[in-house]
Amino acid sequence: MAGNFHFYLAFENSLCEDYITEKFWKILEGPDLVIPIVMGGLRMEEYENIAPPNSYIHVRNFTSPKHLAEHLRYVVSNEKAFNYYLEWRNKYRLYKNGNHISRKY
């Protein structure tokens, strides 16, 4: 399913401290080379502390939806930029412990 797409929106409908949507983890666990675009949690650091580095695009890194769209167009048109967001797959593995997922080097 996701293999036909470059990006996956992993947005939450509310911002909750220390919560990252399961949608984010499902796309990272999957075999498809898809980059999640995330919005959730109260702070970007919540993603930085637990997710593999450079495994997602956070909407708060952009000043406007237009700025985000320009970046997405750039990523799709530039193979090196696209692969930048997938390099984590060669360095990290995701591990499940019950409902909790964590990264390991």
Say which CATH number the domain at 38 has.
Answer: 3.40.50.11660
Q: Name the domain count of the chain.
A: 1
Kindly report the pTM of this predicted structure.
Answer: 0.84
Q: Is residue 70 part of a domain?
A: yes
Query: 49 lies in a domain?
Result: yes
Per the structure, the complete domain to which residue 38 belongs is given by: 7-98
How far the first Cα of the chain sits from its last, in Å, is 28
Contact 98, 76 (CB under 8 A): no
Most confident listed range (10-14, 30-34, 56-60, 96-100): 56-60
Among residues 66, 31, 63, 28, which one has the least CA distance to residue 47? 28
Which one-letter DSSP state was computed for residue 23?
H
Mean pLDDT computed over 8-14: 83
The residue-averaged pLDDT of 35-52 equals 85
Q: Kindly tell me if the per-residue pLDDT of 87 is higher than 60.
A: yes
